[in-house]
A and B are shown apart, each in its own frame.
Chain A
Amino acid sequence: MVTEAKTETFIDEICSQPGGEGIRLCIQCGTCTASCPNADKMEHTPSELIAMARAGMKKEVLSSNAMWYCLSCYMCTVRCPRGIKFTDMMHALEYLSIQAGLVHAKTLTPTMYRLFNHYCSMGSLSELWFMLRFYLQTNPFRAWRMIPVAFNLLRHGRISVKPRKLTQEGSCQLRSILDKAEALGGVK
């Protein structure tokens, strides 16, 4: 008997992400949507997103703005009657969206997340440089508007110009771990 090599469907792709396998359990009750503080800002509500993913609408799901409005408040996760880890699934969809190069054009969250990851991969997040670079990269006008907030933080000694640094040894260790992780190519 000859078995055909099965091509990976979108559902398989989601299921292979940690936390993604719950998508098969959804009963479309809408509890997640009713619990989400940002559902009204999403092009597709959380429960709709699951239905679309199960219908194989990969491009529509991954190019949607929905997951980028997820606040990671975990309200959907604790309320889901099927025990789906929905917040983690949103993170998995964000990851797949970046991987597929389908990131929604109008939301700034992916840019913010990338920059965040860039700084924390160096060991410690420098709030000042992270924020400054984000504003300059996306909309310098916003940086201008944020000056009063920044000034207040500075005046109250809550901004450090010099970022926290790991020891030379610690930095090298972290770098080799992350390089190795990259070479291993993902969680699958």
Chain B
Amino acid sequence: MKYYTYFPGCSCSSEGGARAYDWSIQAVSKVLDFEFVELDDWNCCGSTPSGSVDELGAFCLAARNLALAEKSGLEMVTPCSACYVIFNRTNSYLKQYPKLKDKVNEALSAGDLKYNGGIKVRHTLDILTTDIGYDAIKARVRKPLEMLKVACYYGCQVVRPGFGFDHPENPQSLDKLIASLGGEPTPFPLKTHCCGGSLIISEEAIALDLTRKLLESASSNGAECLVTVCPLCQTNLDAYQSRVNKKFKTEYKLPVLFFTQLMGLAFGLDSKTLGLNKNIVSANELIDRIYNPMSYIKTRQAVS
């Protein structure tokens, strides 16, 4: 059994909009024999916006969590790409600027904390593909995703600015993972292009256009669903898909799953345990097809 400190982040917390991501991670962790131990009393990482409003405060928001994690000494893992970037950025700046580190520690001391800079922060995708590995994943597959065409969407911050485990513009880890589940990763030229991020709130028109491009690229390459590794990307592609359709007079109906949800389905886990009933664009057809591949093949043959 492998253990990690787990930082779910606000979206994947039990009150967050992406709690299904968290559920599916917990479900696949049981199958793959690793455990994510949630960090006690963690606070919001500050994400990108905080640094622009209050720079030192933002470093302190991140550093409090890192200092708490340092007590156990385990590597910290987060499923959220934004949290992933913030923690790694904080680590690298504290290392690069000793004066900043002193200031952050001075602030932390007001809460009886100190951060030495020793916590490595990794993304769930990194843990599953590097530590657990494709072979171990393949060995647990009960319902192979045969003939399922999947667009593997990485988004930005899991691969950029680049804290290590995959290429910043042409990553492969998620594609290989989907292939090890028996699925067919489709060509997806925009796989690391931006979904619009938090600008979906303040500049909706701009963000919707970026989301539309992703949906267009995925569906024109024959994808039957999209998988994501980030709560915000999932929300933009899933919850705002109807807004894209309305604005651009399109008719996309692409289910957008967290990659761990699709893993869970391939492992034969129950769709409710994986939180698939929380998807806005229904994934029911997809679930039926994975659970009953024979009836799907028969219908397909009948059609052709």
Contacts and interface: CB of A to CB of B under 8 A. Distances in A.
B17 A173 contact: no
Interface stretch (A7-15, A47-55, A113-121): A113-121
B52 A91 contact: yes
**Which size bracket describes the interface of B in this complex?**
35 or more
B201 A112 contact: yes
A124 B43 contact: yes
B53 A72 contact: no
Interface string B172-200: 00000000000000000000011011110
Interface in B54-77: 54-61, 64
A114 B160 contact: no
A78 B55 contact: no
Interface stretch (A24-32, A56-64, A154-162): A154-162
Contacts of A116: 47, 49-50, 53, 198
B56 A184 contact: yes
Interface stretch (B143-151, B259-267, B274-282, B291-299): B274-282
Interface residues of A, number: 72
B50 A176 contact: no
A148 B245 CA distance: 13
Nearest to B104: A181
Given A77-B161, A123-B43, A184-B103, A113 B17 contact: no
A144 to B, nearest CB: 14
Interface of B: 10-11, 13-19, 41, 43-61, 64, 85, 89, 93, 96-97, 100, 103-104, 106-113, 156-157, 160-162, 168-169, 193-194, 196-199, 201-204, 206, 210, 239-240, 242-243, 277-280
29 contacts: A18-B55, A37-B193, A37-B194, A71-B210, A72-B197, A74-B156, A75-B156, A77-B161, A78-B160, A91-B48, A98-B52, A109-B203, A114-B53, A117-B57, A125-B44, A138-B202, A149-B239, A149-B240, A149-B243, A153-B239, A156-B278, A159-B17, A164-B16, A169-B41, A177-B64, A178-B61, A178-B107, A181-B104, A187-B103
Given A116-B49, A158-B278, A180-B110, 14 more contacts: A37-B194, A75-B169, A120-B43, A120-B47, A121-B57, A121-B61, A124-B15, A124-B43, A138-B202, A149-B242, A160-B16, A164-B10, A178-B107, A181-B56
